Structure formats: C-alpha cells, structure tokens
A and B are shown apart, each in its own frame.
Chain A
Amino acid sequence: MSGSTIKRVFAQQIMGRKYPAISATVITENGTMTSAVCTAGVSVGTHEVTFTYDGGKKWHGMGVMNAVNQVNEIIAPALVGLSSVDQFLIDHTMLSIGGNDPSKKMGGNALAAVSAAVLKAGAASMGIPIYRHMGGSDAVVLPAAAYGVVGGSNRYDRMHEAGAKPTYAFIAHDFSSFSEASYALWEAVNDWQTFMQRKYGLSPLRSSEAATTTGFVYVPPRIVDREQQLWEMMCECIARTGYEGRIGIQVDLAADCFYDKEKQLYMNLFCAGGMNRDEVIGTVKEMADKYQFVSVEDPLHEDDFEGHAMMVDAVDIQIVGDDLFTTDVRRVSEGIKVGAANCILLKVNQIGTITQALEMIQLAYENGYGVMPCSSRGEGVEICDYSVGINAGTIREAGLGSGGSRFLEIEKELGSSAVYAGTRGLKGRRFQQGEKGAKA
C-alpha cells in the first residue's frame, strides 16, 4: 500500500463568512493530514450548482450538517483505500454516488470540500507543492498581480442591495516578474489609500476572511455623482505613481445585481437612473478607451450571451464572465459558440470537484478563452496554487497580502523557469497583438 492511500475522510461544520461552512479532512497512510473548506457564496448566481443546506430555522436555514453527514456516512467509505494522488478517480467516484437519481446526489459543498482536501493530500503525501501537483512541471506562470481599491455600492440608490459591487482593483501587468509587479502595485495602492484618507477620510478594509476583499476602500453615497469621477481619480493615482500603461484597472460590475428585468434596464449602475444594453456597452468602451481599464467582469446580466458577444466585438480588452458562466461547462460551451466574453471566472468550489474545474478550464483554453481564478467560497490562499497550477494569466485581487506572499514564494521556488504572465496574460485584442491563425 502506498503512502498516498486514503486512510480516513471526515467532515465537520465550522463558521464561514456569514453562515456555517463545511470543512473536510483527509488523512493518508503516510500520516499526511489536510483540510479544505467550502463556504456559502455571498452573491449566488441563479445557475450555480446546488449546495446542500439544512433548511429550517437554525442558522437561517443555512446549516450544513446534512452535507457533513453525506461526507461522513456516504463519501468517506467510498474513498478509503483509494490513492489520494488520483484526483480524477476520486472525483469520479464521488460524482457516481447515487447513479442517475438526482435526489441521491451529494451536495456541491460536500463534494467541493472533499475534492479540495484530496488534492492537498495528494500533493502533501508526495511532498510536492499543490500547484505542481495540479499542473505538473508545466505549471510555471504567475498571473498579473491585482489588488482591490474600491468597493461599496448603493452609491446611487440606497434602497438597493448589490453585494458591494462594483469592485475595482489595480492590476500591475506590464512588468517582467511578479515581485516587481507586486512592488509597483504596493506603491500605487498606498498612494490611493493615502489619497482617499486625506481627501475623504475613507479607510481601506484592513483584513477580511476572504482574501479578495481586503484593501478595498468602500466609497459611500454622495462622494461622487457618477462613476467617471472615481475612474478619473484612480487614473490620476496611477499616473502620479508613474505607472501609466503598466498598471491598469480591473472591475467586477456584477451588472446582474443592477438589472431590472421588467424595465430591461440597468438601474443606478454608473450613476442615478437607468441604462439600456447599448448604453452599458458604450460606457464600457469609454472605460477601455478613455480610462485605464484592462478587464471588466459581468458587464451585462447573467443570461445575455448575445450582449457579451457584442461587448467583445465593441471593446478590445478582457471581458470576464462570472454569473454568465457560473464555472459551468454547459454554459461555457454556449458562450464559446457565440463568442460571449473572452475570459471565464473560476470559482473552484462553485463547480464542485477539482476534476470538473479542470475540465472546464481545458474547454476554455482550447477555445482561446482565459481563466481567472477567484477565491470566494473558502478556497483561501490555495487559490494562488490553483492559479499557477492552471497557468492563469489573471486572478481576482491577490497581488498583495497573503495571496501576494504565496505568489512570491512560488516565483522564488520556480526560479529561472518562472514566467510572469504580464500584459499578455490579459485577453482581448489590445493585448493579444500578433495572435493570428488562432482558433478563437
């Protein structure tokens, strides 16, 4: 029996961001013990996979004891004795439970937690880093470094809850190494935070459990009349620090949160009032051409594949789909067929297992799409290993802090074989000059 053989699997309910989370632990024959967590999402797309929640009154129905029991009673016995190194076999075994009966299927949160814990166990039992276990010797790319600068919504409509969107980040792309980019990012972010503190008395969110929201300065109503004023300030900051054209802005618009289905208008997104699809496309074009935007996520509502294709035609920067694709293979295929967006947001836990995530990534890559990892369901700092493991070009905010530190470690470990994704890590015609004869 090999040292990486699974000896024990168990799960427990722990505390997540707002609701309970499920934590799964895997122990292998050679004594390696690893855990992974899956939390409930803050903004949950309509098309996401089903997580198992307990319902009822306790924890407002968001308890995960049923998912915990699925792991302890059904999944664990099926996995003991298998090799933790064979991720595909493990995930296939879990996904096969219940056969074709949907009611007997395991919850997405149970699958995600166990699958990620197995991935870590496989790496640990072989004594190699997670990124290399995931992507092999071929995993050498560090993504463009990004860090959050602005969050907070309800700027133009205080009655509306939009999950802290839009969120803006600086992204240091035109550099030759991650460490160099991350220092430039530190300079720009510092300048921004000092500026916002002095001018408006606004402080950044210092630390949060989810690495991707640390550092944001939440901008409340009545500071600006329209988003353009914010963009202007961000661009001035980039220019002040001397990084014009080298540090850009990425934004998650989460336009779905602002979409009024009846009126077919995006309400109070960039300023007070409604906007139709063409006007949003026009504004995104303005962001790309007049301001320093290099990546825009979810610029239109989650079912508008056609609009996202029009967006890619009209705007030559990276267009990311999150709620549009929900990391789902079928939705990604649908998008690729029509050319909607050019990059797919990857929430590993949202899709379920690591295997399904890798399958989705393969689909994206072979069709010329980018993949942008995001930690939002408890993936934690491992998101950095996932990013290098799949050679991602960009990542949601993880350029400084714990994420940035992990990337610095990985870059050092890879030594001369490390590749900084840089500007080319971004999708969009502007950054892909010379890409001819390509499939997509």
Chain B
Amino acid sequence: MKPSVIMSVTAMQTSTDQRNPAVSVTVITAGGAQGIGSAYESYSTSDYRPKYLYDHTERYHGNGVTTAAGIIEKIVAPALIGLDAARQGEVDHAIKTSLAEAGFPAYVNLSAPVSVAALKAGSAALGIPLYRHIGGQSAFTLPVGGYLAASGSKRYGDGERSEGRPVYNLVSFGFDSFEEAHYALWETANAYEKLLAKEAGLLVHRGFSLAVPRGRLESDRSLLDIMTKSIEAAGHGGKIGIHIDVGANEFYDAQAELYRGLFDTEEKTGTQMVSLYKELVEAYPIVMLQDPLQQHDTAGFAELTASTGIQIVGGDLFGTDVARIKSCIMAGCVNSALLPVCGFETFSDVIQMVRFVKSHGADVMLQDLSGEGLDIADFSVGFRAGTVYQGGLDPVGNRLISTEKLIGPRARFYGIRGLQGSKFCLRQSVK
C-alpha cells in the first residue's frame, strides 16, 4: 500500500488563544505520517464570514464544537479511509460529498480542519516540506513580512468595538534576502521601542502587542511619526514601510454613516476617510492598507486602489465568501486578498481562490486567523504570495528564515516586488 494512503481520521475539541474552541483533526497515513488541522471562529464583524457549527449548550458560551468533532468522525472519516492523502482534490471532493449526502450545509469547521490535516499528512507522507507539497518546485519565493508595532484600543471613543485594531506593522522589503530584511526589522524595532518610550512614554514588551491606553496620544499620527522616525534612525528609509490593518468595520456606525474613534476623536464620513488616506500615504511611508473602509464601501475601496498606488488588502470586505471575493476583485476594489485558509470549506477551495485572484492581476496575503498557525509561512511560500501578515520577528518569521535556508542559494526574497500597487511595479510607465 502507498505510504500516503489515509488509515485514520480523528477529531476533537481543543482550546485556542481566542474565545472560541477549535475543532482539531488528525489524519494518519499507512506510512505513519501524521497531519493535524484545526479551525475556529475568530472575532469578525464581516457579513461575509464563514459559518461554524456550534453545540449551543452552556459550555463555552454555547460555542463548543464537540458535535462538529463527532460528525467528522462519524460521517467524514469513513469516506476518507483508503484515499491518497497526497491527492488533495480527491480528498476534498470526498469531504464535501460525504457531508452533502448526510444533509449538512457548509459549516467550515466540519470540512476545513479535515482538509488541512490531510494536506499536511500528504506532505509528510511524501517526505517533502508543506510549502513544496502546495507549490511544488515552483515554491521558491519568500514573502515580505512585518513586525507588530502597535495594536488598537478604545483610545478615542467609548462605544466602538475596536477589537485590537488598527494594527500597525513595520514591513521590511528593501533587502536581498528574507534574513537581511528580518535583521533590518530587528534594528528598526529597537529604534522604535526606544523612541516610543522617549516621545510617548510607552513601553513595549517585545512579543506582546502594544495597546495604547486612552489619553496618551492626540491622534495616531503620533504613532506614524514615531514609526517613520525609527525607520530613518535605523538607516532603512525607503526599505521599511508601514502596514495598517485598519479594521474600519469596527469603527463604523452604519446608522449615522460615520466612523467614530478611528485614528483620533473626530467623526469622519466615508469621503473624509478616503481623503485622509490619500494624505497619509503622501506623508508617511505607508505601503499597505488593510480594510481601510467599512465592508460595504466598495467604491471607496476601488478609489483607494486606483489612486494611492500602494497595496490595498481586503479582509472583512469579503470574508471567505467566494462570490463576494470574485466580484470585489473583478471590480478592482483591492489588489490583495486576505485568505484565512481554515475559513474556507476545503483547501481546494483556497487553491481555486488563489488561482482566481492571481489570474486577475492581484495577489493573496495569508494571516493566522482561524487555525492556520505557523503554517501561514508555508502557505505563503507555496502560493508564492508577495506579503504575509506579520511574520517578522515572530515564530512565523523564524519558519520563513529556515524555509529560505531549506530552499537554498537560489531562494528568492520578493522584496519590493512583493508589494502590489503601481508604486512598486517593475513596469516603468504605467498607463
């Protein structure tokens, strides 16, 4: 029997560092290879977020997933035994068919963790790294990563959700290798932490995100100033830039049609937000804006994408809703799509999405949102994504450093070409 043939599929409820528990699935093959996949729901106010099956009992505020684990073992597992884990399309087809035949609608926590577990078991059975199982010999690029400089808080308002956003990351692109970019990031992070203490009296504990308390800053421009100064102080002007994951949904009051408590105390309309971004992009080395507007302002997104020349990432804008992602990409709302792998039904659906996005001139960005963990490093390399969410001075960054070594002397760090937008284009005159 081929060593990659699936012998067992088991599922259980596990804990996560978010509020909701995860469904965790283990796939074991004939050759003894093992793959673990998990999926859980992270906080999101996107109308396009995926659906999860919950226990609705008292435990975990109703969000337990033991029912989901049970269904996987009873319905999905028997359909997979005997299949080749290395043939993802076949495995995913079997997952979907078994659930559909049993009458279950598309809950991602019934399918995604199984699909990812099979993917990883397949890669282990072939004895090749995960990134290569995904992208084959074509997987030799390293994405641009970033260091988490500051996260959000309810610093300018009361009633808003915030949920840790906006998140500010320093992204390092102007270097020849991921390792060099990584070291420059370390230098800049040191300069930033020093400056932040000196100018704003704020202390950063490396590895923990800095949530700035109320009353310390007049506006987030102070943060942008400090970041820009630290990039210069470290001697990396033009080589390190700023990525803002705005999460504008969290600050939007749909009834009043106003953004509240975002960047400063002033209320802003959608039009004012667009002008503000245009001004900020001119004034600061901002290279990426993620969910800069609320999820229904597709026209605003398209305008920012067309006019700023930088990478505009959509996340809450379309969640994991395939039809919505397609229409937003077709309409030019964004030039980069955030793909939470474990938020799609199966890995094959992710592949189809990546194909669609890339064939429409845009790129994908991977983030650890719903159970992906460190594997976003391998997903990024496998899909040849130009950027990764954070993945700087963190465990994902370490995995990317070792991947760069593993690929060897011809590994290619994307550098500035990893960023979408006409500002970063090789083509000299963009019409």
Nearest first, the 8 closest Cβ-Cβ pairs linking A and B are A438-B361, A436-B332, A417-B89, A136-B136, A434-B330, A437-B305, A437-B332, A135-B136
Contact with A along B389-431 (1 / 0, CB 8 A): 0000000000000000001111110100100111011111111
**Do B136 and A389 have beta carbons less than 8 Å apart?**
yes
Q: Does A232 sit at the interface, judged by CB under 8 A?
A: no
**Chain A: interface secondary structure?**
helix
Given A136-B382, A438-B362, A128–B331 Cβ distance below 8 Å? Answer: no
**Do B408 and A88 have beta carbons less than 8 Å apart?**
yes
Name the residue on B nearest A88 (C-beta): B410
Name the residue on B nearest A436 (C-beta): B332
**Do B306 and A437 have beta carbons less than 8 Å apart?**
yes
Q: Does A89 sit at the interface, judged by CB under 8 A?
A: yes
**Do A137 and B409 have beta carbons less than 8 Å apart?**
no
17 more A-B contacts (CB under 8 A) besides A355-B137, A368-B361, A419-B355? A126-B126, A136-B136, A137-B89, A138-B136, A138-B355, A336-B426, A339-B431, A358-B138, A389-B138, A415-B90, A415-B93, A417-B352, A436-B331, A437-B332, A437-B335, A439-B361, A440-B430
Name the residue on B nearest A390 (C-beta): B138
**Do A89 and B408 have beta carbons less than 8 Å apart?**
yes
Contact of B136 among A139, A418, A424, A436 (CB under 8 A): A139
Contacts of B107-166 to chain A: CB distance below 8 A: 119, 122, 126-128, 132-141
Q: Does A366 sit at the interface, judged by CB under 8 A?
A: yes
A358 CB contacts on chain B under 8 angstroms: 137-138, 140
- In whole Å, how far is A83's beta carbon from the nearest beta carbon of chain B? 10
- In whole Å, how far is B376's beta carbon from the nearest beta carbon of chain A? 15
Q: Could you list 19 examples of A-B contacts with CB < 8 Å?
A: A85-B128, A86-B408, A88-B407, A132-B136, A134-B137, A137-B88, A138-B354, A355-B410, A359-B412, A362-B138, A362-B140, A367-B427, A414-B89, A416-B93, A417-B88, A435-B360, A439-B361, A439-B420, A439-B421
Q: Does A365 sit at the interface, judged by CB under 8 A?
A: yes
**Do A354 and B410 have beta carbons less than 8 Å apart?**
no
- Cα–Cα distance between A391 and B119 once the two chains are bound (Å): 20
- In whole Å, how far is B416's beta carbon from the nearest beta carbon of chain A? 11
B417 CB contacts on chain A under 8 angstroms: 366
Q: Which B residues fall within an 8 A CB radius of A?
A: 2, 86, 88-90, 92-93, 119, 122, 126-128, 132-141, 302, 305-306, 312, 330-335, 347-348, 351-352, 354-355, 358-362, 382-384, 386, 407-412, 414, 417, 420-422, 424-431
- Cα–Cα distance between A432 and B332 once the two chains are bound (Å): 12
**Do A438 and B335 have beta carbons less than 8 Å apart?**
yes
**Do B138 and A440 have beta carbons less than 8 Å apart?**
no
- In whole Å, how far is B229's beta carbon from the nearest beta carbon of chain A? 30
Name the residue on A nearest B135 (C-beta): A136
**Do A136 and B132 have beta carbons less than 8 Å apart?**
yes
**Do A333 and B426 have beta carbons less than 8 Å apart?**
yes
**Do B93 and A138 have beta carbons less than 8 Å apart?**
no
- Cα–Cα distance between A358 and B141 once the two chains are bound (Å): 11
Q: Does A11 sit at the interface, judged by CB under 8 A?
A: no
Q: Does A251 sit at the interface, judged by CB under 8 A?
A: no
- Cα–Cα distance between A66 and B335 once the two chains are bound (Å): 50
- Cα–Cα distance between A367 and B416 once the two chains are bound (Å): 12
- In whole Å, how far is B151's beta carbon from the nearest beta carbon of chain A? 28
**Do B135 and A138 have beta carbons less than 8 Å apart?**
yes
- In whole Å, how far is A18's beta carbon from the nearest beta carbon of chain B? 31
- Cα–Cα distance between A114 and B95 once the two chains are bound (Å): 40
- Cα–Cα distance between A128 and B243 once the two chains are bound (Å): 40
**Do B139 and A338 have beta carbons less than 8 Å apart?**
no
- Cα–Cα distance between A137 and B126 once the two chains are bound (Å): 13
B347 CB contacts on chain A under 8 angstroms: 137
- Cα–Cα distance between A132 and B132 once the two chains are bound (Å): 10
B382 CB contacts on chain A under 8 angstroms: 136-138
Name the residue on B nearest A139 (C-beta): B136
A418 CB contacts on chain B under 8 angstroms: 89
- In whole Å, how far is B413's beta carbon from the nearest beta carbon of chain A? 12
**Do B137 and A87 have beta carbons less than 8 Å apart?**
yes
Contact with B along A135-151 (1 / 0, CB 8 A): 11111110000000000
Contacts of A97-132 to chain B: CB distance below 8 A: 119, 122, 126-128, 132
Contacts of A394-440 to chain B: CB distance below 8 A: 414-419, 424, 432, 434-440
Given A88-B408, A126-B128, A138-B351, A434–B331 Cβ distance below 8 Å? Answer: yes
